[in-house]
Structure 1
Amino acid sequence: MAEILINVQAYAKLTLHAAKYPHCAVNGVLLAEDSKSKDRKTIRFVDCIPLFHLSLSLAPMLESALLQIDAYCKSKGLIIGGYYQANEHYEDNELNNIAKSVGKKIQDCFPDACVFMIENNKVSVESQSEVYKTYVYKDPNWVKYDQRTVEEEAISITNSLLQGGVHRELIDFDSHLDDVSNDWRNLTVNENIKRFI
């Protein structure tokens, strides 16, 4: 099993997405460096694309978003390597059928794919640990991965971003589909993150 490492930008954006819509289920994908080597030692997630907060299960919207993200990845030397989700209810942190299905679709294309289930009660400016549980696919099920997966400074930087209200600037695909001038790449948020690194 390869080591999993999420950088500051990817971690911050998935957390900011959950913080922006605490009353909704949210989801998105994580982009990893494209290593052609089958014996890779580390899967490095370097960005996050927030997808939806209105309805996670609309297949045509998901397919459209993934096609655009895949084209973007090819131009940047990245791959869709992970999926994250926060369930609607505060206490519900379990993998549901949507997370398992989307995760499996990603895993079909990228065998080392991961699913990150956000624990809603950990999304706060005082968080001291990762805000999610990590799962990897071991045929035929998703199993919990118990090692730390986030870069050292990611949690403290994300807490500072939350305190500064940067989550209000985050744009997901739902917002992009409402108004195509809303850039799902979140270049402004990326600049805010870079100021802390």
Structure 2
Amino acid sequence: MDQQLEQVSVDIQKIVYKKAMLHACKYSTEDVIGILIGQITDKSINIVDAYPLFHSRVSLNTLEVSLDIISSELQNDRKIIGVYEAKANFRGIMSELAREILNNINQNKAILMRISQIEVDDTFVLNAKIVSQNENVKHVINSSSTLEWWVIQDCLKAGLHWKIVDFDAHFENVQLNFRNQYLE
């Protein structure tokens, strides 16, 4: 007997792509990871923001501190609902840190957005793909939330990826704003 897949509608705001993909561009030779913020209901997921976390090795203490800081700033209707990651070697294997964060979120519909490099017309570009962690859930990306390269092309031309601040940088210099509001 085949089990019916539960379809969950996913809406992703452009700011999410900008922050996650620019984070991956700035640290293109390193693995990067960040978290996704939004709302989850029975049939839909709305991803409204992303916070770049790390681009180098991280301890559980710094992870806990960064998640506590972010959680304390969230509005009541928003929470941490997933993780994005980009691997420098592009093997597509979920990192242990991403798995740990997803396990701590402890939600059946937690999101993993994997950023990878693809070739389009002999040019390498980034692609974002939602990967389901629950084999019984199929994520359906809304047409208004396409995972397209054009979302960040102008940002790259303007050099905005060099301004991305993640928690690695914030912990080195607390004056740096990890919220990256200049992208909004």
TM-score category (smaller protein): 0.7 to 0.9
Structure 1: gaps spanning 5 or more residues: 191-197
1:81 is matched with: 81
2:55 is matched with: 53
Shift, 1:52, TM fit: 0.4
1:102-122 residue CA offsets vs partner (Å, 9 max, x unmatched): 22222x1x3321111211346
Distance 1:144 1:87 in 2: 24
Counterpart check, 1:27 vs 2:33: yes
1:193 is matched with: none
More relative contact order in 1 or in 2 (CA 8 Å, sep 6+)? 2
Distance 1:102 1:143 in 2: 20
1:114-193 matches, cutoff 5 A: 114-121=111-118, 131-138=127-134, 147-148=140-141, 151-152=145-146, 155-190=149-184
* CA gap 1:64/1:114 in 2 versus in 1, 3 angstroms: same
* CA gap 1:67/1:146 in 2 versus in 1, 3 angstroms: closer
8 Å CA contact retained: 2:37, 2:81: yes
Higher strand proportion (structure 1 or 2): 2
Distance 1:48 1:31 in 2: 6
Structure 2: gaps spanning 5 or more residues: 1-6
What's the secondary structure of 1:131's corresponding residue? Answer: strand
Distance 1:179 1:70 in 2: 20
Distance 2:136 2:80 in 1: 20
Higher helix proportion (structure 1 or 2): 1
1:18-45 residue CA offsets vs partner (Å, 9 max, x unmatched): 0000011100001013x5xx53x32110
TM-score, with length taken from structure 1? 0.77
- Percent identical among aligned pairs is 25
* CA gap 1:122/1:9 in 2 versus in 1, 3 angstroms: farther
Counterpart check, 1:71 vs 2:65: no
Backbone CA RMSD of aligned residues:
2.7
What's the secondary structure of 1:88's corresponding residue? Answer: coil
1:112-135 residue CA offsets vs partner (Å, 9 max, x unmatched): 211112113469xx678x713322
1:111 is matched with: 108
Distance 1:76 1:146 in 2: 24
The aligned length equals 175
Which segment drifts farther, 64-73 or 160-169? 160-169
What's the secondary structure of 1:112's corresponding residue? Answer: coil
Distance 1:176 1:122 in 2: 33
* CA gap 1:116/1:153 in 2 versus in 1, 3 angstroms: closer
Shift, 1:96, TM fit: 3.2
Distance 1:105 1:20 in 2: 27
* CA gap 1:16/1:68 in 2 versus in 1, 3 angstroms: same
Look up the equivalent residue of 2:114 and give its one-letter code: M
8 Å CA contact retained: 2:118, 2:124: no
1:194 is matched with: none
* CA gap 1:146/1:127 in 2 versus in 1, 3 angstroms: farther
